[in-house]
Amino acid sequence: MNNFNIFDITGKKILVTGGSRGLGYGMAEGFLKAGAEVVITGTSEKVFESVEKLKNNTSGVVHGVVLNLDNAANIASVFDEVMEILDNRLDVLVNCAGMQYRCKADEFPVEMWDKIINVNLSSLFKISQIAGRVMLEQGSGKIINIASLTSFIGSESIPAYTATKGAVMQLTKALSNEWSSRGVQVNAIAPGYMETDLTANMKSYNPKQYEEVTSRIPMHRWGKPEDLQGAAIFLASSASDYVSGAIIPVDGGFLGK
């Protein structure tokens, strides 16, 4: 029997920030079903409810930690906790935690701008830097950032989110340029319009935009969190060992139209 499988991630130790719900939860579920050990983070004790749900759905080895990325001083200590849970090895980091605030640009509160920049970009860099040091010392590792269609195109009423996702795309390339020759691949997934908490209010806030978006998607539907599982497993596995600095759209064909 031929057991060769370059997509095998059995036993991989994976950290998924923002894994307690939405896209992060969907990817964590996929990793667990594929045999990885996963730590998910959430901003409150509710993360442990997600852990129990994942255990019931997958029978996988999953742990939860509370991590508020708006508190930069907390990132290093929580990361140490994660490393202890994972026996001081980290094979894959998925940066999925993020936030959005919908408001016209001319009315956008400066305090929300600062908060979103911090959570979606600055904290992503900080945890990538810490994880990157571990992976560089190991001589191997994979970082998967979650970009967005707004990494490629402008949008309406989400200026701070759009700014951070454009920056995440460029940061992905910058980290790849420095680390890929040392065994650490850095890539990003750019989800299309997905049915999550972040997008749930578009239909009521701007129904015209919602209809326009839906009509432009060649698959004629919004994505679901599980639609990211294939790309995530690919980027976490040895199948992607020569892929770095790439931004992979998972968008139902939106960008191609």
Residue 225 covered by a domain = yes
Give the CATH number, domain containing residue 239: 3.40.50.720
d(CA 84, CA 231): 28
For 7-17, what is the mean pLDDT? Answer: 98
Residue 71 covered by a domain = yes
**Which secondary-structure segment (H or E) carries 130?**
helix 123-138
DSSP 3-state of 189 = strand
Burial of 207 from C-beta contacts in 10 A (0-12 / 13-18 / 19+): exposed
Residue 5 covered by a domain = no
Residue 2 covered by a domain = no
Is residue 234 scored above 60 in pLDDT?
Answer: yes
- Domain holding 143, by residue range, is 13-251
8-state DSSP, 180: G
Which candidate, 152, 155, 135, places its Cα nearest to that of 191?
152
pLDDT mean across residues, the chain = 94
Residue 6 covered by a domain = no
Total domains present in the chain: 1
Catalytic residue numbers read 161
Residue 1 covered by a domain = no
d(CA 132, CA 154): 30
Residue 246 covered by a domain = yes
How confident is residue 4, by pLDDT bands cut at 50, 70 and 90? confident
What are 64-110's pLDDT values in tens digits? 999 998 887 799 999 999 999 999 999 999 999 999 999 999 999 99
DSSP 3-state of 161 = helix
pLDDT at 1: 47
* Maximal CA-CA distance, the chain: 63
At 187, give phi and psi (nearest 5°): -135, 175
This prediction has a pTM of: 0.95
